Structure 1
């Protein structure tokens, strides 16, 4: 059975919530899904590493990084760790870096933008 997103929205309009189109796809996997794990942080990605070091089992890591545009919360090393540990994808309300390398990985990655600066460990 297959569904078209637009048709589902039309049929269930009062019940549907749609994320504003602010995220860009950076990963090598453009479609991904799975149970989510969530993090809330601001310009320090230590918790991201801790989460991605655990088995992903097909989960998606959703990071509320406060929409910071001053540094990246995920780079190629953390993305590679996610692939190694079986995560399906990462969604960051913030920035990533190393987008070319991440684009070559079998991982879904959505973020607001790219930024070359790493986070500050607090």
Structure 2
């Protein structure tokens, strides 16, 4: 059962060094480095080309058609935080737009991920305020029903705990638990170095069949070449 009507004002954020270390990697690399975990559903998309973000989560539980708690969350932000908003039930209304983006930016927010709708996209792009959302929808919302701030939320099927690291780019959104941030950053660095070596071999014309030693297993599985 989700907590409603509560704001947790003291959360444990992932360490700043670990967040900076993760920020240099793409979502796909982080997801693989973490054991293919942490991805949000692929319907969460950047609302304008080139949007990226990385920061610690301040979470919001919204009620359908109601953005009251996004205003409440603004007070809890520290520079570099990412607002991550889930909803008690599916809703694609336009919870977020230019005015809220202006407010969140003034508090130091690095962006927003929302399992709901967003509007004022041209203005958000002009501001370069990164938003990743379920939909783009002009339909407005009200301010009438309590949700919560800084409670664990499920956003696009991913569990997000306040203080987790959220990374988003054109490939999607991935959530790294705060306690694993440094470990995952190190694994991502190792994976990237390994891929750089393979990139050179591919560019030189070597086949994945040989780089990954696939020929024997393919033969054992029954693959036949017919002339």
The yes-or-no answer on 1:88 pairing with 2:88 is no
1:68 and 2:91 are equivalent in the alignment? yes
Q: Give TM-score scaled by structure 1 length.
A: 0.81
Structure with bigger helix share is 2
Structure 1 residues 24-66: Cα deviation after superposition (integer angstroms, max 9, x where no partner): 1125862211110101112211110121244431100000033
TM-score (norm 2): 0.46
Indicate if the aligned counterparts of 1:68 and 1:95 stay in contact, CA closer than 8 A.
Answer: yes
Partner of 2:44 in structure 1? 23
Question: Which structure has the larger Rg?
Answer: 2
When the two chains are superposed, the root-mean-square deviation of aligned CA atoms in Å is 2.6
Give the structure 2 partner of residue 78 of structure 1.
100
Are the counterparts in 1 of residues 94 and 117 from structure 2 also a CA contact under 8 Å?
yes
Of stretches 40-49 and 52-61 in structure 1, the one that deviates more from structure 2 is: 52-61
- Residue 122 (structure 2) pairs with residue 100 (structure 1): yes
Distance 2:49 2:110 in 1: 11
Q: 1:77 to 1:20 in 2, by over 3 A?
A: same
| Counterpart Cα distance in 2 of 1:7 and 1:87 | 22
1:34 alignment counterpart: 55
Match of 1:47 among 63, 69, 74: 69
Over 3 Å counting, the alpha-carbon distance change for 1:12 and 1:26 in structure 2 is closer
Residue ranges of structure 2 left out of the alignment (5+ in a row): 1-20, 145-227
Q: Residue 28 and residue 17 in structure 1: after superposition, are their counterparts in 2 closer, same or farther (change >3 A)?
A: closer
Q: How many residue pairs are counted as aligned between the two chains?
A: 119
- Structure 1: unaligned runs, 5 residues or longer: none
